[in-house]
Amino acid sequence: MTSGKVLLRSALAVALPLQFSAIKAQEQATDSHLALVRQALATELRAASDTQHPMRYRLHKTSPRFSTIKDIVETKDGAVARLLAMNDQPLSAADEQKEAVRLDALLADPSKQRHRKQSEDADTARALKVLRALPDAFDYTYIGPCPPPAEHCDHFSFQPNANFDPPDLETQALVHMAGEIRIDTQDQRVLRLEGHLQQDVDFGWGMLGRLNKGGWIIIDQSDVGDHQWRIVRFQMVMSGRVFFKTRAFDTLEEQSKFTPLPAGMGYAQAIQLLRSDPAKPIAASQ
């Protein structure tokens, strides 16, 4: 054997184990990253059921035609809101009086708050169905660290899992959704989720409704203090049909000014708090 061939075989003998080691390390890294996604989604599922860390916060909700700013207090009886501004303008004296009358009526009739709590619980149940499905509904691909200025953050894309069979109405849209997700690697929480509908989605074989291809949602979360994570921005642009009515959803919700509250507060106490300790006035064109 010539010296050249000996050197070539020697190089291959060294290179092949290194190549296999690199492949093995890449596989392990992939498994580790996918485990992070599942851990973060499991954390979100637990957090969605947490009722021991209520908050007071400000909700700015915007649509193409209208916007509101509300002061929200979470209670064991459901959230209670006080309207602060409409179309980025502070309430007029007449609107302030209407809001006071509305809160009086809510305080005088506990059944109104019970109905609101039931509606909140139904929304939470639907959200939990989607959260439970997320680990298996998609195939996740690691992209790399999140771009600056994000720190301790991993970036993934996701595509529908061909083997996922949606168990209920709430999860049917997932089979046609693709997007990206960002995970905080320290707290194992979802920082951002962005999903886009790749095809039309029919509900009840199209008889109940349809969501049109091209719709999208973006959810941003952050630590709002003492390791309590909350959604700080939610944006949805969807169009479709509900029964026989065409609907378009174009809304942006931004939550800020979070303040922790004692657990166990009732809705009557929340109304008292909203009145005795009102939020700072809303400046015009805020």
* pLDDT score recorded for residue 188: 95
Terminal Cα distance for the chain, rounded: 82
* pLDDT score recorded for residue 240: 86
In a domain, 285, yes or no: no
Q: What is the mean pLDDT of residues 194-215?
A: 80
For residue 121, the enclosing domain spans: 3-276
In a domain, 283, yes or no: no
Q: Nearest to residue 140, comparing CAs of 156, 153, 155, 154?
A: 156
- What pTM, to 2 d.p., does this model score? 0.83
In a domain, 185, yes or no: yes
Q: Is the pLDDT of residue 14 over 90?
A: no
Please spell the DSSP secondary structure of 51-103, one letter per residue: -SS-EEEEEEEE-SS-EEEEEEE--TT--EEEEEEETTEEPPHHHHHHHHHHH
Report how many domains make up the chain: 1
In a domain, 282, yes or no: no
In a domain, 284, yes or no: no
Whole-angstrom distance, CA of residue 13 vs CA of residue 160: 41
Whole-number CA gyration radius for the chain? 25
Secondary structure class of 262 (helix, strand, coil) = coil
Q: Is the pLDDT of residue 29 over 50?
A: no
In a domain, 281, yes or no: no
* pLDDT score recorded for residue 5: 46
Q: Is the pLDDT of residue 68 over 80?
A: yes
Whole-angstrom distance, CA of residue 98 vs CA of residue 95: 5
Q: What is the mean pLDDT of residues 103-109?
A: 96
